[in-house]
């Protein structure tokens, strides 16, 4: 008896009223966009659609499935995903605090600002970029998903512990940067692939609750890390964090269980490593959305790193922590608001408005900032709108997939790959521009004081360019609907 062959029927089914009944096929007709998302998830549970008939579960161990959208197992998964989000992405979004500390540490005095920034940018970029490889790998070997979590946790903790013994900046790049990014990607990937198994009708709520973890971490951790670095130095800070990761994510891994049976493939029946659904590469909409991602990421992640440095120039380390906390927490609020607006209005015009206002705020607020009050305002406006911009991601992927929903997971992974490359390129260019301009710290009363002029022009221009690319997406989507 094969249960995997009916995965699509299971995932698209409404939950029966009796908890003793198995879920059966059937799907009530709702809005077309909701239907597309549910079809995407059904096809993408373990790889491409053509792979579903190849795997088999153990016929002697068929068990009743847990209910969708409710029950302790479903909410335990949300809590586990939230914990991973806090510990992985919350930590990543606070690298600006570490960057400023490393830049003033005599141990790394010979390292340029670009090299020090590379620790955080490479970590985030690797975590985004490896998603496509993880998508291919676990599509072929879904039975290795759970064991890989424990191996990734061991690698994550080891990378932080070894980084605490660093004496050169390349040690931090390799350990706190690349190795932590690799392990973090493995730990976070199950959140993306297993969430659709547990939630259909309440998926938006579950997603928002999980994603709120990065905002909570981004708000609280700047103060925590600032205090730890000032009182104990980076070595004990990384060791303390390694212990926190081990305990917190260790419990989270135990709660990150799949809802559907894991397919067991017989020899020679595993799906191909690279799935055949790559037709979207010929779509101009895909490349326009990729351009939006590149411009947005080069601007957003550059500001997330250098806004801390700017705050310390005009004020104090504590003020820098407050600025970063406002920057991160405002994105959580706007993700909920803009995500809801994307359900009611064309998503592309939400992208246009958020990036355009963000670009203008760089030129009018950050460019002429000489007081903390104005910098706080910029952190809220820019951090909120550019962070909230990412709420349009799932809808844009659905739009790009069109009538081939099985392509959605690969499109999403490709989007992450593009974002990862932009996360490296943006801060790299920004670091070069800042190093060239920081010799002049004259505040003046003109645009771009304290040596940030060219950097601000760069990130502001990228945000405006993302707005123009988003407008083209809006026009293309509208033309396709007529």
Domain 275-482 CATH (choose: 1.10.287.90, 3.30.450.40, 1.10.10.10, 1.20.1250.20):
1.20.1250.20
Helix (H) or strand (E) holding 55: strand 55-56
Q: Is pTM, for the whole model, over 0.75?
A: no
The fourth-level CATH superfamily of domain 67-274 is MFS general substrate transporter like domains (1.20.1250.20)
Do the domains 67-274 and 275-482 sit in the same CATH topology, yes or no? yes
Helical axes 347-361 vs 372-388, angle rounded to 10°: 160
Dihedral angle, C-alpha 298, 324, 313, 108, nearest 10 °: -70
**Signed CA dihedral, 82, 86, 89, 90: sign only:** positive
Rounded-to-integer distance, Cα 173 and Cα 169, Å: 6
Per-residue pLDDT of the chain (482 residues; tens, 9 = 90+): 433 333 333 343 333 333 333 333 333 433 444 444 444 444 444 444 444 444 444 555 555 777 777 778 888 888 999 999 999 988 988 888 898 899 889 999 888 888 998 899 899 889 988 888 888 888 788 888 889 999 999 999 999 999 999 999 999 999 999 999 999 999 988 887 787 777 777 666 677 678 778 878 888 898 899 999 999 999 999 999 999 999 999 999 988 888 777 777 767 677 776 766 677 888 888 999 999 999 999 999 899 889 988 998 888 888 888 998 899 888 878 877 887 787 778 889 999 999 999 999 999 999 998 889 999 999 999 999 998 888 787 778 778 877 776 677 778 788 888 988 898 889 889 988 988 877 666 665 577 778 898 999 999 999 999 999 999 998 887 665 55
Domain positions in the chain are: 4-57, 67-274, 275-482
DSSP state for residue 65 in the 8-state scheme? P
List the end-to-end C-alpha distance of the chain, in Å, as a whole number: 46
Residue 443: partners with Cβ closer than 8 Å, 6 or more residues away: 314, 370, 449, 450
């Amino acid at each position: 008896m094969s249960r995997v062959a009916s995965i699509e029927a299971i995932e698209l089914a409404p939950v029966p009223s009796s908890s003793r009944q198995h879920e059966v096929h059937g799907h009530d007709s709702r809005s077309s966009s909701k239907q597309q998302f549910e079809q995407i998830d059904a096809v993408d549970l373990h790889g491409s659609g053509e792979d579903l008939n190849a795997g088999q579960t153990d016929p002697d161990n068929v068990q009743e499935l847990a209910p969708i959208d409710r029950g302790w197992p479903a909410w335990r998964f949300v809590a586990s995903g939230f914990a991973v989000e806090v510990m992985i992405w919350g930590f990543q979004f606070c690298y600006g605090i570490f960057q400023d500390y490393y830049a003033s540490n005599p141990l790394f005095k010979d390292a340029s600002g670009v090299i020090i920034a590379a620790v955080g940018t490479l970590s985030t970029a690797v975590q985004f970029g490896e998603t496509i490889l993880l998508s291919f790998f676990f599509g072929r070997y879904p039975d290795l998903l759970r064991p890989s979590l424990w191996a990734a946790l061991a690698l994550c903790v080891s990378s932080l512990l070894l980084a605490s013994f660093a004496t050169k900046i390349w040690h931090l790049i390799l350990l706190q940067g690349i190795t932590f990014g690799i392990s973090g990607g493995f730990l976070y990937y199950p959140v993306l692939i297993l969430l659709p198994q547990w939630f259909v009708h309440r998926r938006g709520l579950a997603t928002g609750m999980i994603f709120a973890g990065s905002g909570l971490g981004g708000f609280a951790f700047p103060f925590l890390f600032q205090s730890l670095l000032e009182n104990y130095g980076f070595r004990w800070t990384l060791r303390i964090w390694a212990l926190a990761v081990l305990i917190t994510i260790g419990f989270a891994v135990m709660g990150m269980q799949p809802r559907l049976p894991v397919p067991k493939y017989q020899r020679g029946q595993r799906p191909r490593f690279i799935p055949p659904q790559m037709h979207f590469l010929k779509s101009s909409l895909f490349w326009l959305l990729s351009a939006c991602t590149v411009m947005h990421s080069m601007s957003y992640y550059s500001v997330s790193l250098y806004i801390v440095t700017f705050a310390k120039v005009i004020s104090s380390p504590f003020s820098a922590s407050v600025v970063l906390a406002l920057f991160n927490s405002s994105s959580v609020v706007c993700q909920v608001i803009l995500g809801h607006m994307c359900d009611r209005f064309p998503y592309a015009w939400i992208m246009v408005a958020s990036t355009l206002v963000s670009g203008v705020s760089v030129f009018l607020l950050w460019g002429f900032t000489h007081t903390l009050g104005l910098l706080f305002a910029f952190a809220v406006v820019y951090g909120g709108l550019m962070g909230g911009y990412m709420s349009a991601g799932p809808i844009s992927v659905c739009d790009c997939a069109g009538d081939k929903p099985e392509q959605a997971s690969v499109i999403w992974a490709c989007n992450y790959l593009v974002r990862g490359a932009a996360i490296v390129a943006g801060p790299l260019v920004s670091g070069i521009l800042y190093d060239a301009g920081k010799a002049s710290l004259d505040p003046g009363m003109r645009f771009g004081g304290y040596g940030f002029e060219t950097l601000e022009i760069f990130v502001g221009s990228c945000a405006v360019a993302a707005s123009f690319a988003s407008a083209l997406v809006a026009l293309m989507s509208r033309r396709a609907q007529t």
